[in-house]
Chains A and B, each alone.
Chain A
Amino acid sequence: SYVLTQTPSVSVAPGQTAKITCGGNSIGTKRVHWYQQRPGQAPVLVVYDDFDRPSGIPERFSGSNSGNTATLTISSVEAGDEADYYCQVWDYNTDHGVFGGGTKLTVL
C-alpha cells in the first residue's frame, strides 16, 4: 500500500515561515491535498491539487509537489495557525484514500 511520511512536529516563531513536508514514492505524479485540524475540531481543506487554495484560505498557505516530496508552506505564521496538518492522496493502485501521519505545527 502507498505510504505518506510526515515529520511529526515543526516549530516556528510568529512571522516566520513554516515548511511541512510529505514524502511518498513518486508523489510528484500524484495530486496532493492538505488539511488543517485545530484541537477539538474537524479538519479543514487548506490546499488541493498540489497548490490550489479553497476560497477563504489566506494566500499565506501555499503548496508544491515534485519528485518524492510535497510541501505545504505557511508564510508569516500566526498563533492561529497552530494545528495538526495532514497531507492526502488517492492511491489508484489500490483505490484507497491515503493520509500522512500528520505534522503538529507549534507557534513559539
Chain B
Amino acid sequence: EVQLVQSGAEVKKPGESLKISCKASGYRFTSYWIAWVRQKPGKGLEWMGTIYPGDSDTKYNSSLQGHVIMSADKSIFTAYLQWSSLKATDTGIYFCAKHHSGRYFDWFDLWGQGTVVTVSS
C-alpha cells in the first residue's frame, strides 16, 4: 500500500528543538519530491518547502527564513522536518505530501496523516 506515516504528536516549550518524520512505503521513495505543509489552528494550508529524497535537493518557502530544515534518509525511506529553536507561533499541524511525479511543481497526490505540534511555555 502506498502511504506516508508521520510521527506522533509533540508538546514542546519555546526554544526547544524538534524533529518530526514522515515514513514512505509502497513506492520508490527516491524518485518523488515530498513537501511539508503547515496548518495553523483554525487556518488554511501553507506550503513550507519541498525535498527530493534522491539527492536532498530542497526548495524552501522564503517566508520561513531558515527557521526550519528539511532532510531525508534514503536508507529508511523517511523525510524529516526540524527546528533548532521552536516558537509559540510554530504551533499547528504539519503534513507531509508526496508530489505526483519527479517534478517538484506537480500536485500532491498522497498525504500523511499529520503531526500536531504544540509549543507552549
- Residues of chain A whose beta carbon lies under 8 Å from any beta carbon of chain B: 31, 33, 35, 37, 42-45, 48-49, 54, 84, 86, 88, 90, 92, 94-102
Please tell me if the beta carbons of A54 and B95 are within 8 angstroms of each other in the complex. no
**Smallest Cβ distance from B111 to chain A, in angstroms?**
4
B41 contacts the other chain (CB 8 A): no
B25 contacts the other chain (CB 8 A): no
Among residues 57 to 82 in chain B, which have CB atoms less than 8 Å away from a CB atom of chain A?
Answer: 59, 61-62
B27 contacts the other chain (CB 8 A): no
User: What is the interface size of chain B, counting residues whose CB is below 8 A from a CB of the partner?
Assistant: 23
**Majority secondary structure, A binding face:** strand
Please tell me if the beta carbons of A99 and B112 are within 8 angstroms of each other in the complex. no
Residues of A within 8 A of B111 (CB): 42-44
Binds A, one of B10-18, B43-51, B83-91: B43-51
Q: Which of B37, B107, B114 contacts A49 (CB 8 A)?
A: B107
Please tell me if the beta carbons of B44 and A97 are within 8 angstroms of each other in the complex. no
Bound CA–CA A90/B114 (angstroms) = 22
A-B contact pairs, 13 of them (CB 8 A): A31-B107, A35-B108, A37-B45, A42-B95, A42-B114, A44-B111, A49-B107, A86-B44, A88-B45, A88-B108, A94-B62, A96-B62, A99-B37
